[in-house]
Amino acid sequence: MLQGWTVIAVALGYIGLLFVVASYGDRTRRFGREGRWRHFIYPLSLAIYCTSWTFFGSVGLASRTGFDFLTIYVGPILLIGLCSPLVMRIVRLAKAQNITSIADFIAARYGKAQTVAAAVALIAIIGTIPYIALQLKAVSASLTTILAPIGPATGAMQPVLGDIALYVAVAMAIFAVLFGTRHIDATEHQDGLMLAIATESIVKLIAFVGVGVFVTFWLFDGPLSLFAQALERPNTAAVLTREPVPGTILAMTLLSLFAIILLPRQFHVTVVENNNEGEIRRASWLFPLYLVLINLFVVPIALAGLLTFSPGHVDSDMFVLALPLAAHSNLFTIAAFVGGLSAATAMVIVESVALAIMVSNDILMPLVLQRREELIAGRNVGGLLLAVRRMAIFVILFLAYVYYRLAGDAQLASIGLLSFAAVAQLAPAFFGGLIWRRATARGALAGMTVGIVTWAYTLLLPTLAGVGLLDQSLLSQGPWGIALLRPQALIGLDLPPLAQGVIWSLSLNVLAYVVFSLGRSPSSIERLQADLFVPSDLTPIVAPSFRLWRSSVTVEELAATVSRYLGEERTRSSFDSYALTRGISIDPKGEADFQLLRYAEHLLASAIGAASSRLVLSLLLRKRTVSRKAALKLLDDANAAIHYNREILQTALDHVRQGIAVFDKELHLICWNRQFGEILALPPQLTRVGTALDHILRFHAEQSTSDKDMTDALVRERLGRYIASSEPFLERFAERDLVMEVRANPMPDGGIVTTFTDITPSVKAAEDLDGGCRSAPRN
């Protein structure tokens, strides 16, 4: 048997290695953003979805319900693998709005409503604390399995000071503070943290596959022998031949589909840490491949555990560790322990960072700004926010540790599904806001409130009763003896507990969302944000009914407000960049116009979120206006004016005869008019935001030649002209008998503006004239 000091030394050594990897990632961008390794960091960071629930809990679930565990991975494969355009759309919206968290995203859609942001943050915290507790339970159980002789579980808890889970939680909190809260700008990429997460994804994959190969081929002579032995025994054969329960299967698939984007850590790594759309396209096949690989040996390990150990002799969640331990393989025992530790630490670190950002931006900041503004008057608010985030990380992990101590012997999968169901209450407001323009903040708030209350009644209360914290009669008889109100059989509905809780909570959530949204017309800021989140080509452009008042706020006052949150250096460089991009000079004593107000709000959103940034500027404007309502009206009118000007500009561009397109510094399409697609005869998939210029050029090159080498050469030649040419040049499309004059002008930020003019008639006339001159007889 392994010595206790050896296991603890390995755990501490592994956590120390993560510190080294994260420090390296922060010191240099060579691994994370420059070389070929950057192609794998984003897909591997998405694998933070595979927590200790995957590493330990999936085996335990498979030993009880057969192949039901696969539903937890079907949802992520569907969303990331098959719905990558939707993920790209979410990322574009987040980048455009400077979104910092899932709470920020949903609040931004509903008019930057502070109440919506706070509600999302609270639901995320309530739903995630059990999930973090799951990781602590897995670490503690794995250590107990290694250090205690294999035998029947006693259910006894370790003393607090002797519980390794406590020390792991403290170590993870320190790691999250050091590498997840370095910058006040929550949209700034955490290179070191992401490199450490990618490293952990590799470690847990290698560890699980290694243990799976050892168990399957070393202990049982291959999968055929293993399955043959399993079918010979009634208890294991029952697992393989068990009929799936449709309600539970559908509920788990739906929950996993929502979880892959709505869990705070998943939104953070998928959206906030994304660098470009190429990463999403690459992840659309690499991430599903990762999920397939890490689940290859789940069923074999579960069957091996059932064949090796007597029922109740070993916790089925710990089969991954108990099997190599029983085979006296120290190497694979340590590998399994480190893999499980890796799965737990990665999740806890990023989850705690994401939740801490929401606590500071969406709960604390609004309270301070609205009720105790004098507490931050004249202070460096950026430093205060970082301190709050660091403190929040320790508090969140403490609450998770308390939940872990109270949860008792609950199975890992049951805790995980409870968290998934809680976070799923954000789904109607999140996805509904992307497709329904009529939705309002009032509807979103009502839906989430009704949904989380129903979740607590139908799923959380039975869990608490199961561990002895509530009277069991509540489940069997219902409150006040009313049988129709039993949490697991509401109005007598006979469904599996999970399916019933999910159906009731989401159904009532959607109902409240729709009814309360239809009960009142959207406000002006809600309509404006709906236009951004739910674009519609059929929406007529009507001038908004606003009068843009004078703000009476100077540029100097505006910059001073922003610098309190972002720092003087960052504010100064940002304002200088704004002036340079627009070719203007900013007078510090001059009045800030609505465009500068909007830019300042965008800057603040990166640090304190969209809802709080709107609140900060409204308080600044209130000093010069009559009321808070008037200040918010001015700020919303500034946003409406910019949006209206953008719509008018798009309409004007669509009436220009030339094709016009704008590409960013990475040569990705960001703006174009209708003639651009028509004159180049581009298919719809090439006229959308994010399309690379070389893809458009390749499309035309492939029309003129089928030779791959010649196509590549044509693309390189034409791309070079777009980048380097300062003079107009001609593009000829022989297959369409078309000649175009192309102009490519550089922009201050490194992008280019291109115009395409059909000059075919002029060229033909010149050629005909030249041909006529040559054929004329000489005198």
Summarize pLDDT for 476-489 with one digit per residue, the tens. 777 777 778 788 77
The predicted structure's pLDDT at residue 777: 55
67 or 539: which leads in pLDDT? 67
640 or 437: which leads in pLDDT? 437
Least trusted range by pLDDT, from 245-254, 284-293, 434-443, 562-571: 562-571
Query: Which helix or strand (DSSP H or E) is residue 463 part of?
Result: helix 461-466
Could you please report the per-residue DSSP string of 329-366? -HHHHHHHHHHHHHHHHHHHHHHHHHHHHHIIIIIIHH
Is residue 396 scored above 70 in pLDDT? yes
The average pLDDT across 350-376 equals 77
Of 5, 410, 359, 400, nearest in space to 170 by CA: 400
595 or 328: which leads in pLDDT? 328
The average pLDDT across 380-395 equals 82
Summarize pLDDT for 146-192 with one digit per residue, the tens. 876 544 444 455 666 667 778 778 888 887 887 777 666 655 667 77
pTM check: above 0.75: yes
The predicted structure's pLDDT at residue 183: 66
**Above pLDDT 90, what percent of the chain?**
23
The predicted structure's pLDDT at residue 530: 83
d(CA 684, CA 682): 7
The predicted structure's pLDDT at residue 86: 92
Enter the tokens of residue 101.
């968290």
The average pLDDT across 559-565 equals 79
| 197: amino acid identity, one letter | I
- Which positions ≥6 away from 429 have C-beta within 8 Å? 106, 109, 110, 116, 120, 439, 443, 444, 447, 448, 513
The average pLDDT across 1-7 equals 69
| 338: amino acid identity, one letter | V
Q: Sheet holding 669-672: strands in order across?
A: 669-672, 659-663, 752-758, 738-746, 729-733
395 touches 177 (CB < 8 A): no
582 or 682: which leads in pLDDT? 682
The average pLDDT across 105-122 equals 91
Q: Where does the pLDDT of residue 427 fall: very low under 50, low under 70, confident under 90, or very high at 90 and above?
A: very high
611 or 729: which leads in pLDDT? 729
d(CA 322, CA 302): 11
The predicted structure's pLDDT at residue 502: 92
The predicted structure's pLDDT at residue 156: 52
The predicted structure's pLDDT at residue 779: 46
The predicted structure's pLDDT at residue 421: 93
Q: Where does the pLDDT of residue 136 fall: very low under 50, low under 70, confident under 90, or very high at 90 and above?
A: confident
113 or 7: which leads in pLDDT? 113
Is residue 119 scored above 80 in pLDDT? yes
Summarize pLDDT for 209-263 with one digit per residue, the tens. 999 999 999 988 888 989 889 888 888 888 888 888 888 899 999 999 999 999 9
The predicted structure's pLDDT at residue 28: 66
The average pLDDT across 264-272 equals 92
502 or 546: which leads in pLDDT? 502
The average pLDDT across 526-544 equals 62
The predicted structure's pLDDT at residue 126: 92
Mean pLDDT of the chain: 80
Enter the tokens of residue 170.
């403290």
The average pLDDT across 15-44 equals 71
CA 453 to chain centre: 25
d(CA 278, CA 191): 18
The predicted structure's pLDDT at residue 664: 81
The predicted structure's pLDDT at residue 541: 38
The predicted structure's pLDDT at residue 549: 45
Q: Where does the pLDDT of residue 540 fall: very low under 50, low under 70, confident under 90, or very high at 90 and above?
A: very low
Q: Is the dihedral of CA 370, 375, 377, 381 positive or negative?
A: negative
75 touches 257 (CB < 8 A): yes
Summarize pLDDT for 64-79 with one digit per residue, the tens. 888 889 999 999 999 9
The predicted structure's pLDDT at residue 548: 42
Is residue 626 scored above 50 in pLDDT? no
d(CA 418, CA 423): 9
The predicted structure's pLDDT at residue 72: 92
445 or 651: which leads in pLDDT? 445
Of 433, 456, 455, nearest in space to 443 by CA: 433
Least trusted range by pLDDT, from 466-470, 562-566, 634-638: 634-638
Q: Where does the pLDDT of residue 298 fall: very low under 50, low under 70, confident under 90, or very high at 90 and above?
A: very high
The predicted structure's pLDDT at residue 21: 83
The predicted structure's pLDDT at residue 154: 45
Could you please report the per-residue DSSP string of 645-683? HHHHHHHHHHTSSSEEEEE-TT-BEEEE-HHHHHHTT--
Q: Where does the pLDDT of residue 118 fall: very low under 50, low under 70, confident under 90, or very high at 90 and above?
A: very high
The average pLDDT across 54-60 equals 89
* Rg of the Cα atoms in the chain: 30
Is residue 322 scored above 60 in pLDDT? yes
